[in-house]
Structure 1
């Protein structure tokens, strides 16, 4: 008797491989079709995707992080130098907690913020004023993000100039007070987390209304503010777990420049969360069920450019 071949002929193996590839191709095409049809099946998802593509999330977050690092942080140092020791200590503590600064990095920041120049008070006042004015670049960038999310034209300089400085000063004050709030004024995270959420929600609600010049009423801005509160709490919890080790590794690899790299990366994450929250907040505010409660309905057939 002739023995059966132990291996299949090459042509049979090729046909089986071709059929297997065809089945995988059909499955992939079906999944792709389902993904393309998802925005039509779930309108909220479609509007959210269009909003994120139009806002350009990463570009906005990178611009905000760069402005915060190049203009707002120097203003923070200047404020710490010219303010009383209690304010300076609170600011150092906040930066150390937020950025996960330890060891040499924390000591460097302490020395930097504790170095004042009182020999020439006139020059110090002028320098502080110019630094604060230049720091309004962050306010302007934040205003452009809010306007892009709500598809509103750019505000005039006369209308917006004072808002930039007010927004910056309020956020500097909040940063000084942030650490006690996060710690629940010594009572722990069970109180600190809700307080942080409420403070962040209130601040971002006010931020949108201020920088948009009142062109959008308060209630339609509430979903974005609530999402900002969630983003701030989530990023804050994650930063306390991740940042100290990341900062230590970065300093070990790059020396003092490691603080720069890690801080800038952290700012990009923070502003990505904030931009995402504001952009999606508008989408939620225009949902049929929510729009009736908030009074944020737009004109029929238009998704943007209407008065809210």
Structure 2
């Protein structure tokens, strides 16, 4: 009897997971998450990557910032990691060719990435667009994202040593990711959704990143080697762009899954921004 009950519970859990995945897929198509993810990848590569390269070059921290973040996300090492690193100039080259005007331009255009994320979050939660004077929220969200990426790749942190077990790094990264995406949703939505209802989305986003990490190690890492040999730097860029599309899908898909998980919760008493 106990075995039959366990089987019935597993079958029921499987049906709920399939129904939930089906709802996320259908609503994701309605929200055009694939197109939004492609736009996210383009904006990230064109606006945020150069900004991260300049900031990482100016900091006295060990590590190469966005290059380390991309190689870790793709799960590549050796020659594949070298192919990613070759896409970015050295610290001295970056600092010698960067001007204050260029840096300011990168920062201004970088805010457009957060504007796209905010628009997607508002569509997911079926909220009206925030007024223009809440632009400071996008600026703050961008600053938080830059800080998260740079801190996660700073080799001076105690849990990032080669001899250290990966468990502390994974635990710190997961906790930091949950806190960041929980805070980011609350920030960009202008506190119109209660904190508790946003927590499932933060967990779902980090879980999706874990799945993307495994998928990247299995699929993108071998592609990196073959594309680098066949097409050179262009092949490496294609793989990185494909991975960034996956990053966009996890950010938006995680928030959508969280909204569906919170759909049965009572309405919150949110405030207008």
- Residue of structure 1 in register with 2:147 after alignment: 173
Gaps in structure 2 of 5+ consecutive residues: 1-14
Moved more, 138-147 or 69-78: 69-78
Distance 2:19 2:209 in 1: 27
Distance 1:237 1:154 in 2: 35
- Residue of structure 2 in register with 1:141 after alignment: 116
Distance 1:277 1:183 in 2: 30
* TM norm structure 2: 0.79
- Residue of structure 2 in register with 1:108 after alignment: 86
Distance 2:169 2:95 in 1: 36
Distance 1:118 1:230 in 2: 40
- Residue of structure 2 in register with 1:132 after alignment: 107
Answer with 1 or 2: which has the greater Rg.
Answer: 1
Superposed CA deviations along residues 242-267 of structure 1, whole A, max 9, x for unmatched, are 43322111111211101210011001
The Cα shift of 1:178 comes to 1.7
Conserved in 1, the CA contact under 8 Å of 2:64 and 2:153? no
Match of 2:68 among 93, 102, 105: 93
The Cα shift of 1:274 comes to 2.0
Moved more, 83-92 or 43-52: 43-52
Conserved in 1, the CA contact under 8 Å of 2:209 and 2:247? yes
* TM norm structure 1: 0.71
CA shift in 2, pair 1:90/1:136, >3 Å:
closer
Conserved in 1, the CA contact under 8 Å of 2:182 and 2:199? yes
CA shift in 2, pair 1:54/1:241, >3 Å:
closer
The Cα shift of 1:138 comes to 0.6
CA shift in 2, pair 1:67/1:116, >3 Å:
closer
CA shift in 2, pair 1:199/1:298, >3 Å:
closer
CA shift in 2, pair 1:110/1:227, >3 Å:
same
- Residue of structure 2 in register with 1:154 after alignment: 129
The Cα shift of 1:277 comes to 1.2
Conserved in 2, the CA contact under 8 Å of 1:184 and 1:193? no
Q: Which structure exhibits the higher relative contact order, with contacts defined as CA atoms closer than 8 Å and separated by 6 or more residues?
A: 2
Superposed CA deviations along residues 80-110 of structure 1, whole A, max 9, x for unmatched, are 34x1342563554334333436545245245
- Residue of structure 1 in register with 2:237 after alignment: 260
CA shift in 2, pair 1:59/1:118, >3 Å:
closer
SS at match of 1:115: helix
Distance 1:43 1:244 in 2: 32
Aligned CA-pair RMSD: 3.2
